[in-house]
Amino acid sequence: MLERNHVSHPTLQAQLSLAARSKRKRNRILLFIILALTAALLWKVILSFDPYLPNNDPIEAPPVTALHPIVFIKQTELIAETSKAGITILVTDGFRSSEEQNAIYAKGRTTEGKVVTQVQGGHSYHNYGLAVDFALRTKKGEVIWDMEYDGNKNGRSDWMEVVEIAKRLGFSWGGDWKNFPDYPHLQMDFGYSINKLRKGHYPPVE
């Protein structure tokens, strides 16, 4: 009887040791999962944080004072390509300072006129030289924003022909925006969000 107990004692110890190791392993796995979920949640909060919302101090925008070189080149190509199609366009706006943006934003709000933009200074691609606005010029020299005008008499809207050419050159069109369409607006963001631009990042010029 004593011999049987003597044999079973180390077996019981081994079983208890195995159970303890299994428990520690489960605890480590659980701790790892908790840490991973916490890190993922923290990263999501960091990515979603917008330092430019009210009650947060904005970071100073990069000192941009002109159109991005590539945007300037594509603007020139757009004028040439539309001219070949018998359409004359006028670039009515390109780079726009934050102060100018704020003045436009005030229209229809604190100053007379209609609301023409939904963004304040620092929140427009114009403020970073990545957007242009255009209008049509008739054969009589009139500047118009008529999206139905067919000056080259080919049965198509001159405006949409310009948009088609612009998209082919790499521009995106504000008229595709669902919330607040901006039909004269063309931009090249190079994959840079406004938030990224406000943090001082700027598309390379190569």
* CATH number of the domain bearing residue 81: 3.30.1380.10
Residue ranges making up the domain that contains 141:
69-198
What confidence tier does 157 reach under pLDDT thresholds 50, 70, 90?
very high
- 116-156 pLDDT tens trace: 888 999 999 999 999 999 999 999 999 999 999 999 999 99
Given a contact cutoff of 8 angstroms between Cβ atoms, the answer to whether 132 and 186 are in contact is yes
- Identify whether residues 32 and 73 lie together within a single domain: no
Q: For the chain, what's the residue count?
A: 206
- Identify whether residues 24 and 98 lie together within a single domain: no
> Is 2's pLDDT higher than 70?
no
SS3 of the chain = CHHHHHHHHHHHHHHHHHHHHHHHHHHHHHHHHHHHHHHHHHHHHHHHCCCCCCCCCCCCCCCCCCCCHHHHHHHHHHHHHHHHCCCEEEEEECCCCHHHHHHHHHECCCECCCCCCCCCCCCCHHHHCCEEEEEEECCCCCEECCCCCCCCCCCCCHHHHHHHHHHHCCCEEHHHCCCCCCCCEEECCCCCCHHHHHCCCCCCCC
- Identify whether residues 87 and 188 lie together within a single domain: yes
Tokens of 183: 């039909």
Distance of CA 58 to the CA centre of its chain: 17
- Identify whether residues 133 and 96 lie together within a single domain: yes
- 49-97 pLDDT tens trace: 444 444 444 445 457 999 999 999 999 999 999 999 999 999 999 999 9
User: What is the model's pTM?
Assistant: 0.68
181 within a domain of the structure (yes/no): yes
- Identify whether residues 44 and 145 lie together within a single domain: no
- 21-35 pLDDT tens trace: 777 777 777 776 776
Domain total in the chain: 2
- Identify whether residues 28 and 80 lie together within a single domain: no
Which pLDDT score, from 0 to 100, does residue 39 have?
Answer: 60
